[in-house]
Amino acid sequence: MFDTYIGLEIHIQLITDTKIFCSCRNSFGDPPNTNICPVCMGYPGVLPVLNKEAVRKSYIMCRALNCHLNEKAVFDRKNYFYPDLPKNYQITQFEYPFGINGYFENELDGELKRIRIHEAHLEEDAGKMIHEGLSSYCDYNRTGTPLLEIVTEPDFRTGEEVEAFLQNFRRTVRYLGVCDGNMEEGSMRCDANISINFPGKGLGRKVEIKNLNSSRNVKLALQYEQKRQWKMLKNNEFIIQETRLWDDEKKRTESMRSKEDANDYRYFPEPDLPPYFPDAEFLDSIEKAQVELPVARKNRFISEYTLTPDYAEFLTEERDRADFYESACTNGCDSQSAASWLKGDTAKALNVRKKSINETFLTVERFTELLKLLEEGRINNPTAKKVLEIIIDEDKSAEEVVAENGWEQLDNSEELEAFVDKVLSENGKALEQIKSGDMKPVGFLIGQVMKLSGGKADPKKVKEIITGRI
Amino acid sequence: MSWNTICGSRENADKYRAYIGEWENRIHSMLEYRVEHCEQGENRISGSLLSGMPFAAKDNIAVRDFKLTCGSRMLENLVSPYDATAVKRLKEAGCIPVAKTNMDEFGMGSSTDNSALLVTNNPWDTDRVTGGSSGGSAAAVAAGLVPFALGSDTGGSVRQPASFCGVYGLKPTYGAVSRFGLVSYASSLDVIGIMSRDISIIENVFNAVKGQDLNDQTSIEYRDSDSLSLAEKPVFSVLKNPEGLSLEVDEAYRNAAALLREKGYEVREIELPVLDYVVPAYYTIATAEASANLARYNGVRYGYRSSKGETPSELMKKTRDEGFGDEVKLRILLGTYVLRSGFQDRYYVKAQKIRTRIMNELDDVFRTSDLIMLPSFPVPAFRHGDESMSQYQQKVADKFTVTANLAGIPALSFPAGNYNSLPVGLQFFAPRYGEKMLLDAARIFENDYPVMNPQGFKTAEEIIG
């Protein structure tokens, strides 16, 4: 066996109105070259002006990663030529990034493990180059999107661990509101470094894997690479330090460039931007912007609300969902039924609508009211589902919906018994079947009564009456 | 000041155009001039001394709808879509841009002969250079084509040509004038400067353009209360043994010091050992920054594009090979060299240490004297061509000017008399925020060393008269 060391470089696009150094809109998916100006196009004579919101969100993230926040942060120029990089240097942070020496509590299968964060630094994103036939096109909309790069220490041992980390990490950036965490659209990107060595020998030669656009692909690529390198070591082959690309179709990594063609980036301090000194007031505001992170919240949900890990994981996946759940509980909902209604029918309904809970008319108050109606037996389960659909789409309370539609359950036994009598008299065959000991048709009969009552009967009571008659 | 009235009528504008045309046939200081902007005389701002005044800007300073060539083939056809902050502020004060002036390519040179587009001659002797890199601005001002011109000073590019052409040239405190719209050569040294035959115009222009700009995070707030003023009896420092000066400059330097003493000022003799290191430090830092600043010119988005590139990377290589001149390529290579990983300590980091040392050494001098007087350049205007002064000699000769850029302090070159029919300039250094001190010190010499007129010079009155 061999030891495996995996480290990650994660880029997250920060959510800001404008780009990092100019006032162009920071938005995804617009027609090519519509969000550009002389500054992000690198026209002669223009200068960068640092976006304060990008700085704030960077610090929020650095703090959440338990980083030491440098007293002085410095921007640097990273020099390399590529047509999608207008200035042919990238403004980034090299020697003095915003945050260093942090950690992230990762969890896989209920086990917590601390992943060390080497650093987190702010930089500008490049544009995109599109090759079509013999032509190449540049789209500079993405140029200047604020990007926070987070570098972990090589603390992972398996691809599964990394996959879980990326999912937890994605939740974290969404909780903090710093990034939408969309790996398919590239707002969160991940490169992985993997090195394998004989046990106890420390880090081996590093192979970097790029082109990983989902946490699943990161896992697959690492598993593939781990196997490939194991085989090589077993056969006494030399592992080259290189960059490899993940081929999603062939499900394998392929060599892109070796260390010999590596760039010398010639870093030096960016003379157009003064060093950044966070002051006490600013740091205080960063402290105030911190929230309980998903992994911690999930574990608290398990113990505080006695939820299964499955439920807790679902509820804490998105911050607004977890907030909703907690408010509902404080508002008097039963923690179990609130959890099951949120994970079941509410989630289903939201999925169909492709909306998050905060984007609908469903409020904690209305949700609580719905569960209360159910608990008090004023409506039955199927009715509750119908009411839920309506209070998601319309600005109405559950009470209102029930009243408007006359959906309140019949608690008048006489009326119910009349329904039962009618059904029994019309279904003599079924009745005989039951009497001869075959209980199957009971459900059918209940259904008939429900139908007759327009769904307002309480199925439990109906069953009682039917079995009583027999 | 009839410069305020030269604009405003068709008739005056025609005379003005004719005067510029006459001179331009001889000196070629301008890459573009558009006097028609002058005709309407609109944009008058009451109460502004600068209102209605035409001006020229070096062709690395953005003026909307004017070219922005930087004296390079690379940007030969580029028209600026925006105004530099300094230009915008001048327009707001009522000034009218009429010309873009020639320069050494991207500000790299001391003669303006490194322009890829035009050869500019010295108004005093057309066989000679104007100095550089703001040579076009200096020549235009000296010939009376504009009352003032903007230049840029990275290592002396305003002061040296000012001295060659016999006019005043102010290099402000680093950050005092926004660099937004100034095409970067060496960002930590670049500053927009002002050239004029008139100290008061420089003062007014400086006050109009100075101060913080949200588009330039290295710009500084410059309130009136920040401005240092000259003591009633200021103390001057001069070099004890200035080395490498031509006879003319040496004589001018000694004469000026003697004159100060005559006028009753205390003149102290000092040594500045760091002067021996400033040139290598300057060329290390400036070229390092330039190698990154000039990387954006690759033919992809604007400017010159080679027709020979088959792949994106070949396109960039060919474009840069064909679009840049030799001096620019040399400096890009130098800068790339000094920034290589593993070599930074030997060059770039060391240069920054020297830079700190310069600041300390000058601070020490300013503790006991108000101003330092130095030559602007070791020689007066030299002849065109490499024989009179090689590119290497020109770099060595930058030592008196680059010092102020490395220290970030303001400096002013002033005319100190003509020797053998050529102007010689000297300069003052002041502490940061000392622009007013510099201008007032220059006024001490104003009557002794009046600005001289090259042959064919006319005042604004004479032009429209």
How many cross-chain Cβ pairs, A to B, lie less than 8 Å apart? Answer: 104
Residues A177 and A163: beta-carbon distance below 8 Å: no
Rounded to the nearest angstrom, the minimum Cα separation between B52 and chain A is 26
Q: Is B115 on the interface with A (CB under 8 A)?
A: no
Facing residue for A47 by CB, picked from B70, B216, B339? B216
Chain B, nearest residue to A33 by Cα = B301
- CA B130 to chain centroid, in Å, comes to 12
CB contact under 8 A, A47 and B80: no
Taking an 8 Å cut-off on Cβ atoms, the answer to whether B300 and A138 are in contact is yes
Edge to edge, what strands does the sheet with A207-210 contain?
A68-69, A99-108, A111-124, A146-152, A3-13, A188-197, A207-210, A242-247, A252-258
Q: Check CB contact under 8 Å for B184 and A274.
A: no
Q: A274: which chain B residues are within 8 Å (Cβ-Cβ)?
A: 217-218
CA B189 to chain centre: 12
Alpha-carbon distance A226 to A5, whole Å? 10
pLDDT over 80 at A7, yes or no: yes
Does residue A245 belong to the interface with chain B, where contact is any CB pair within 8 Å? no
CB–CB contact B316 A83 (8 Å): yes
Higher-pLDDT residue of B135, B312: B135
Token pair listed for A270? 């960016």
Does B306 touch chain A if contact means CB atoms closer than 8 Å? no
Q: Are B231 and B264 in contact (CB under 8 A)?
A: no
Mean pLDDT, to the nearest integer, of B196-218?
98
Q: Which of B340, B346, B331 is nearest to B283 (CA)?
A: B331
Q: Per the CB < 8 Å rule, is B184 touching A272?
A: yes
* Res. A408: pLDDT tops 90: no
Q: How far is CA A270 from the centre of its chain?
A: 34
In whole angstroms, give the CA distance from residue B109 to residue B103. 8
CA A93 centroid distance within chain: 27
Rounded CA separation A333/A342 (Å): 12
DSSP class of A276: B
Residue B291 designated active-site:
no
CB contact under 8 A, A274 and B60: no
- Check if the beta carbon of residue A346 is closer than 8 Å to that of residue A364: no
Measured between beta carbons, the chain B residues lying within 8 angstroms of A38 are 81-82
Angle at B103 between CA B102 and CA B109, to 5 degrees: 160
Residue-level pLDDT at A377: 83
The pair of three-digit structure tokens given for residue B382, joined into one six-digit string: 């030299």
Q: Are A98 and A58 in contact (CB under 8 A)?
A: yes
Query: Looking at the partner chain, which of A42, A44, A267 has a beta carbon nearest the beta carbon of B68?
Result: A44
Rounded Cα distance, A180 and A171, in Å: 9
B 314-333 residues inside an 8 A Cβ radius of A: 316
Q: Match 């008048």 to its residue by tokens.
A: A412
Judged against a pLDDT cut of 60, whether residue B60 lies above it is answered with: yes
- Out of B29, B110, B157, B184, the active site residue is B157
Q: What is the pLDDT of residues A224-255, one digit of tens each?
A: 999 999 999 999 999 999 999 999 999 999 99
Q: Taking 70 as the threshold, does the pLDDT of residue B418 lie above it?
A: yes
For residue A360, with 0-12 CB atoms within 10 Å meaning exposed, 13-18 middle and 19 or more buried, which class applies? middle
Check CB contact of A86 with chain B, cutoff 8 Å: yes
Task: For residue B338, give the 3-state DSSP assignment.
Answer: helix
| Least Cα separation, residue A274 to chain B (angstroms) | 6
Chosen for mutation from B75, B179, B221, B301 (greatest number of chain A CBs closer than 10 Å) is B301
Decide if B255 touches A, using CB distance below 8 A: no
Nearest chain A alpha carbon to B298: A83
State how far the Cα of A9 lies from the Cα of A191, in Å rounded to an integer: 5
Mean pLDDT of chain A: 93
Q: What is the reported pLDDT for B42?
A: 55
Task: Decide if pLDDT at B41 tops 60.
Answer: no
Tens digit of each residue's pLDDT (9 = 90 or more) over A27-86: 999 999 999 999 999 999 999 999 999 999 999 999 999 999 999 999 999 999 999 999
Give me the percent of chain A exceeding a pLDDT of 90.
77
Q: Could you tell me if B356 lies within 8 Å of chain A, comparing CB atoms? A: no
Q: Are B249 and B422 in contact (CB under 8 A)?
A: no
Please indicate if any CB of chain B lies within 8 Å of the CB of A79. Answer: yes
Query: Of all residues in chain A, what percent carry a pLDDT higher than 70?
Result: 99
Q: In which order are the strands placed within the sheet that holds A76-79?
A: A89-92, A76-79, A268-269
CB–CB contact A88 B298 (8 Å):
yes
CB distance B236 to B372 below 8 Å: yes
Distance CA B4, CA B47 (A): 12
A residues 387-416 closer than 8 Å to B (CB): none
- pLDDT tens across A426-463, in order? 888 887 888 787 888 888 888 888 888 877 788 888 88
- The answer to whether A457 and A422 are in contact (CB under 8 A) is no
Task: Tell me the C-alpha distance between B410 and B159, whole Å.
Answer: 11
Q: Does B407 touch chain A (CB under 8 A)?
A: no
Query: How does residue A260 score in pLDDT terms, banded at 50, 70 and 90?
Result: low
Dist CA B9 CA B16 (whole Å)? 10
The one-letter amino acid at B107 = G
The pLDDT assigned to A88 comes to 97
Q: How far apart are CA B413 and CA B170, in angstroms?
A: 6
Interface residue B200 vs chain A (CB under 8 A):
no
Neighbours of B340 (CB within 10 A): 13
Q: Span B50-69, mean pLDDT? A: 96
Task: Nearest chain B residue to A36 by CA: give it.
Answer: B301
Portion 277-336 of A in contact with B at CB < 8 A = none
Active site residue B58: yes
Residues of A in contact with B75 (CB under 8 A): 44
If you average pLDDT over residues B118-147, what whole number do you get? 98
User: Is the CB of residue A95 less than 8 Å away from at least one CB of chain B?
Assistant: no
pLDDT at B192: 98
Cis peptide before A214 (omega within 30 of 0): no
Q: Please name the member of B183, B217, B301 whose beta carbon is closest to the beta carbon of A272.
A: B217
Round to the nearest angstrom and report the end-to-end CA distance of chain B. 13
Query: Which residue of chain B is at minimal alpha-carbon distance from A37?
Result: B81
Alpha-carbon distance of A373 to A387, in angstroms, equals 10
ipTM associated with this complex: 0.95
Which run of H or E residues covers position A256? strand A252-258
Contact yes or no for A45 and B84 at CB 8 A: yes
- Identify whether the C-beta of residue B130 lies closer than 8 Å to the C-beta of residue B425: no
Per residue in B303-350, pLDDT (tens digit) is 999 998 888 899 999 999 999 999 999 999 999 999 999 999 999 999
Q: Does residue B318 have an active-site annotation?
A: no
Looking from the CA of B392 toward its CB, the CA atoms found within 13 Å total 1
**Cβ contacts of A46 on chain B, cutoff 8 Å:** 180-181
The mean per-residue pLDDT over the stretch A276-289 comes to: 97
Query: How far is B292 from chain A, CA to nearest CA, in Å?
Result: 7
The active-site residue out of B133, B152, B196, B291 is B133
Per-residue pLDDT tens over the stretch A158-195: 999 999 999 999 999 999 999 999 999 999 999 999 99
- Which of chain B's residues have a Cβ under 8 Å away from the Cβ of A130? none
Taking CB atoms and an 8 Å limit, are B179 and A47 in contact across chains? yes
Mean pLDDT of A398-417: 83
User: What is the Cα–Cα distance from A109 to A390, expressed in whole angstroms?
Assistant: 38
Q: Is the pLDDT of residue A405 over 80?
A: yes
Q: Is the pLDDT of residue A467 over 90?
A: no
Q: Identify whether the C-beta of residue B85 lies closer than 8 Å to the C-beta of residue B174.
A: no
Distance CA B395, CA B380 (A): 15
Say if CB B190 and CB B184 are below 8 A apart: yes
pLDDT, tens digit, 9 for 90 and up, residues A141-159: 999 999 999 999 999 999 9
Check residues A370 and B44 and name the one with the higher pLDDT: A370
Task: Assess B278–A contact: CB distance below 8 Å, yes or no.
Answer: no
Nearest Cα to Cα of residue A179 among A399, A28, A405, A338: A28
Residue of B362, B380, B358 lying closest to B428 (CA atoms): B362
Question: Is the CB of residue A271 less than 8 Å away from at least one CB of chain B?
Answer: yes
